[in-house]
Amino acid sequence: MAYEMVVGLEVHVQLQTQAKVFAPEAVTFGERPNAFVSWVSLGYPGTLPVLNKACIEAAARLGLALECEIASEFFFSRKNYFYPDLPKGYQITQEAAPIARRGQVFLRLADGSRHRVGIERIQLEEDTGKSLHDQDPFDTLLDYNRAGIGLVEIVSEPDIRTPQQAMAYLAHIRRVVRFLGISDGNMEEGSLRCDANISVRRWGEERFGTRVEIKNLNSISALGKALDYEYRRQVALLEAGQAVQRETRTWDGTQTVPLREKETADDYRYFPEPDLPPVRLSEEWLERLRRSLPELPDRLFDRLIGEYGLSADDALLLTEDRPYAEYFQALLREGVSPKVAASWMNGPVRAYLNEAAIPMEAFPLPASSLAKLIRLAESRQVSLTAARETLFPHLVQNPTAEPADIAQRLDLFLSQDENQLEAWIADVLAEHPDKVETYRKGKVGLLGFFVGQVVRRSGGKADPKEVQRRLAEKLA
Ligand code: ADP
Ligand code: MG
C-alpha cells in the first residue's frame, strides 16, 4: 500500500477504589440501577465534590508505571456539555494541568521487535452515568451508579503504525493496570475502554493526515478490525480524490459508521473547577509511592526469559495478570522448577480456569498442594498423564485433600518394582516376535506400540517413560 497508518489511542481505565472520585458512594458494577448515587453525583445544588485520595494515588502509580513525569501540582477543570448521562451539566476532568505527562511504553511485537509509544498525558476525571436504550420500548432509561466513578484517561502520542501495534499497546496497558491492582481491566464490563484516532498519509510524507476518532471498541480484536477497516476506507477516499472528514465514528462490529462531527475544545468552555483546590504532591509521598510499586509485567517478562529460560509465549501468558504470575512464583517457592511450573500453569491450570470461567483468584487449589501433585509426577510415582488428566481434576474438586491420598484412592501409583517391570516387558516381547523382528529391521516407530502393550498389561501401573527407556535398550 502507498499509505501509512497513523494511530493514537485514548484509553479510559475505571478505578476500582472503595468510593467514587468526588463522592462517597461505592464503586459497583451490575447492581440495581441508581442504588449507588449520592446528591453530589446527581449534581444537586449546594453539594460539593470532595477529592478521593485513593484515586490520586492510583493515577500517580499508573503514571509512574508508564514512566511519566508526575506533576507536583495540578488542578481540575470543568468540561461543559449537555447530555442526560451527565446530570451536573459538566464533567470534572483535567485539561491544562493533568496529573502525569510524557511517559512511554515499549511494545513487544510477535516478531520479537520492540516499538516505542509515547504517552502524551494521563488525566484523572469522573465517569458519566449510563444510558440504557434497550430496557424500555419507548424511553431511554438512565442508570447513575457509574456517574462519578474515578477514571484515568491515558492519551498516547500518534506513534502507533499498525493494528498489531495498537492491540499490543492496549494489552500492555491492561496488564499494567491489573498488576497495579487499580482496575480489573475488563473491557466487556467497560472498566477498560478505548477510542482510536486514525489517519493515513503517503509513505514518506511528514505531515499527518486528517484524523477520525473511532468509539465503541469493546475488545482488543475489535480495535484491530476497526483500524483495518478505517484504514481502507480512508485510503479509498484519498485514492478517489476525496478528503477525509474530521469526525467521530463508531464501530458496529463490521464497519465504522459516522456518529457526529468532531467537537473542538472551544465547544466545551473548559475552565478551572472552582469547587476543588489545586493538588500538591510532595516529593516524599511520590518517592514512597515509587518504592511501593510491584514488579511490573515487563520486568517480570524479562526475568522469566533471562533467568528461567522460559519461552516468550510462556512468559507472555504468565505476565497476563498479577494473581496468575504470583501463583507461578509461589510454585517456584515450593521448589517446582520454572519450566515445569510454567507447563502446569499454562496447561492444566489455564484450561481449568477457562472451562470454569473463573479468574485465578477463584482457583481453589493452594500452590503448596499443586506443588505436591507436581512432585508426584516429577518423581515418577504417578505418570504425567495420570497426574494431569486424573489426579489434577480430582484434586481441584477436593482442594483440601492430600494429593497422595487421592492418588492412593484412585490407584494411580506406578509400580516401583523393577522385577515386575522387567517381567511385563519380557511378556510383551515374547508375545510379538514378528513385530520385534520388524522393529529390528528399522521400523522404530513400533516402539510406541510396545510401550502401549506393556502399560496395558500392567493395568496402568508401569511408568511409560521408564518402559520406553528399557524397551529402547533391549531392542537396540
Ligand atoms: P481529543 O480531545 O480530540 O480526543 P486528545 O488530545 O484527547 O484529543 O486525543 C488525541 C489523540 O489523537 C491522541 O491519542 C493523539 O495521539 C491522536 N492523534 C492526534 N493527531 C493524530 C493524527 N493526525 N492521526 C492519528 N492520531 C492522531
Ligand atoms: Mg480525548
Checking if the pLDDT of 221 tops 70, the result is: yes
Atom of ligand 1 nearest to the CA of 210: 23
Stretch among 57-61, 184-188, 363-367 having the lowest mean pLDDT: 184-188
Q: Identify the band that residue 464 occupies on the pLDDT scale cut at 50, 70 and 90.
A: confident
Question: How many A from CA of 195 to the centre of ligand 1?
Answer: 10
Q: Which ligand is nearest to the CA of 159?
A: 1
Taking 90 as the threshold, does the pLDDT of residue 471 lie above it? no
Distance from Cα 428 to the centre of ligand 2, integer Å: 73
State which ligand 1 atom lies nearest to the alpha carbon of 10.
Answer: 14
Q: Where are the alpha helices (DSSP H) in 181-268?
A: 220-239
Q: Where are the alpha helices (DSSP H) in 252-349?
A: 283-291, 297-306, 312-318, 322-333, 338-344
Hey, what CATH topology would domain 418-475 get? Answer: Arc Repressor Mutant, subunit A (1.10.10)
pLDDT at 265: 63
Interval 120-134: pLDDT, tens: 999 999 999 999 988
CA-nearest residue for atom 6, ligand 1, is: 155
Give all strands (DSSP E) within 48-166, no chain letters.
Answer: 69-70, 73-74, 77-80, 90-93, 100-108, 114-126, 130-132, 141-143, 150-156
Residue closest via CA to ligand 1's atom 11 equals 8
Residue 307 confidence class, pLDDT cut points 50, 70, 90:
very high
Residue 262 Cα: closest atom of ligand 1: 3
pLDDT of residue 399: 93
CA 10 – ligand 2 centroid, Å = 6
417-463 pLDDT tens trace: 888 888 888 888 889 888 888 888 888 888 888 888 888 888 888 88
Q: Give the per-residue pLDDT at 263.
A: 66
Three-class DSSP category at 250: strand
**Measured between alpha carbons, how far is residue 222 from residues 93, 118, 175, 353, 452 in Å?**
27, 23, 18, 24, 47
Decide if 192 contacts 321 (C-beta within 8 A): no
Q: Which residue do the cell numbers 489426579 mark? A: 391
Which ligand lies nearest the alpha carbon of 264? Answer: 1
Q: What is the pLDDT of residues 34-55, one digit of tens each?
A: 999 999 999 899 999 999 999 9
pLDDT value, residue 260: 77
Q: Residue 194 above 70 pLDDT?
A: yes
CA-wise closest residue to 187 among 12, 332, 31: 12
The x, y and z cell numbers of residue 413, run together, are: 501409583
DSSP classification of residue 110: T
Instruction: Identify which of 50, 62, 59 has the alpha carbon closest to the alpha carbon of residue 21.
Output: 50
Q: In what order do the strands lie in the sheet with 114-126?
A: 69-70, 100-108, 114-126, 150-156, 3-14, 192-202, 212-217, 247-251, 256-261
Q: How far is CA 131 from CA 17, 30, 89, 217, 317, in A?
A: 23, 14, 15, 17, 36
Same fold, 295-363 and 418-475: no
Q: Which residues lie with the beta carbon below 6 Å from any ligand 1 atom?
A: 6-10, 155-158, 197-199, 208, 211
* Ligand nearest to C-alpha 213: 1
| Residue 154 CA, ligand 2 centroid: distance in Å | 9
- Orientation angle between helical segments 53-65 and 163-180, nearest 10 degrees: 130
In this prediction, residue 421 carries a pLDDT of: 85
Place 404 in a pLDDT band, splitting at 50, 70 and 90. Answer: very high
**Cell numbers for 259:** 456518529
CATH architecture of residue range(s) 295-363: Orthogonal Bundle (1.10)
With 0.75 as the threshold, say if the pTM is over it.
yes
Q: Is the pLDDT of residue 354 over 90?
A: yes
Q: What percent of the chain has pLDDT over 70?
A: 99
Q: What percent of the chain has pLDDT over 90?
A: 76
Q: pLDDT band at residue 262, thresholds of 50, 70 and 90? A: low
Q: Which helix (H) or strand (E) holds 418?
A: helix 418-431
Is the pLDDT at 222 greater than 70? The verdict is yes
Mutate to test the pocket of ligand 1, among 155, 200, 270 (most ligand atoms within 8 A of CB): 155
Are the CB atoms for 299 and 291 separated by under 8 Å?
Answer: no
**Averaged pLDDT for residues 85-108:** 95
| pLDDT attached to residue 436 | 86
Q: Give me the pLDDT at residue 112, please.
A: 75
Q: Give residue 287 CA to ligand 2 midpoint distance, Å.
A: 29
- Report the alpha-carbon distance of residue 409 to residue 334 in Å, rounded: 25
Query: Which numbered ligand comes closest to the C-alpha of 8?
Result: 1
For residue 195, pLDDT over 80 is answered with yes
| pLDDT over 90 (residue 270) | yes
Tell which atom from ligand 1 comes closest to the C-alpha of 265. Answer: 2
Q: Whose CA is nearest to atom 17 of ligand 1?
A: 8
Q: Best mutation site among 151, 156, 173, 197 for ligand 1, i.e. most ligand atoms within 8 A of its Cβ?
A: 197
In the predicted structure, residue 325 carries a pLDDT above the cut 80: yes
CA distance 274 to 125: 15
Residue nearest ligand 1's atom 13 by CA: 8
Distance (Å) from CA 169 to ligand 1 centroid: 15
The structural domains of the chain, with segments of one domain joined by +, span 3-284, 295-363, 372-412, 418-475
Residue 7 Cα to ligand 1 middle (Å): 8
Identify the pLDDT of residue 461: 83
For residue 270, what is the DSSP state? -
Question: Residue 8 Cα, ligand 1 centroid: separation in angstroms?
Answer: 6
